[in-house]
Amino acid sequence: MNISAFFKSIVDSDIAPIVICDTEHIITYMNPSAVERYAKMGGAGLLGRSLLECHSGESNEKIKDVVRWFEESCDNNRVFTFHNDIENKDVYMIALRSESGKLIGYYEKHEYRTPETEEPYRYIR
């Protein structure tokens, strides 16, 4: 059993964009939703580039501050960053850690607040 294939499948099937960065802010992975969402900025071409190239100076300082806070304690793992009124979602930065608890990266998590309108189990009959 290849456990990393399971984790990749979870990330790739998420409808929210997921951009994973290492502790040096290098984009190491983008799920298909992120590639599509950030197509105008380069899409998959952003892989291997610094996330800091995609943000303003003020945002970059906030990102760096959060990463420093993540490094302070294994208990520091989630920070609310903003609410997007247009998409009705909350956005968080989430720490990624090794099994020993060492910070190995981070990603931005989008939690949509608009209730689902699709009929439950509509494809199951």
What's the pTM value of the predicted model, to 2 decimals? 0.88
For residue 119, being part of any structural domain is answered with no
Query: Which band of pLDDT confidence, cut at 50, 70 and 90, is reported for residue 125?
Result: low
Say how many domains are in the chain. Answer: 1
For residue 36, being part of any structural domain is answered with yes
Task: Report pLDDT digits (tens) over 6-25.
Answer: 999 999 999 999 999 999 99
Among 26, 31, 42, residue whose Cα is nearest residue 8? 31
Instruction: Check if the beta carbon of residue 31 is closer than 8 Å to that of residue 12.
Output: yes
For residue 46, being part of any structural domain is answered with yes
* Residue 70 to residues 29, 50, 54, 62, 104, Cα–Cα distance (Å): 20, 19, 21, 12, 10
Residue with tokens 């309108």, as numbered in its chain: 117
Task: Please give the order of strands across the beta sheet that includes 78-84.
Answer: 27-30, 19-22, 103-112, 89-97, 78-84
Instruction: Check if the beta carbon of residue 96 is closer than 8 Å to that of residue 71.
Output: no
For residue 117, being part of any structural domain is answered with no
For residue 118, being part of any structural domain is answered with no
Note down the domain range covering 9.
3-112
For residue 8, being part of any structural domain is answered with yes
Task: Report pLDDT digits (tens) over 82-111.
Answer: 999 999 999 999 999 999 999 999 999 999
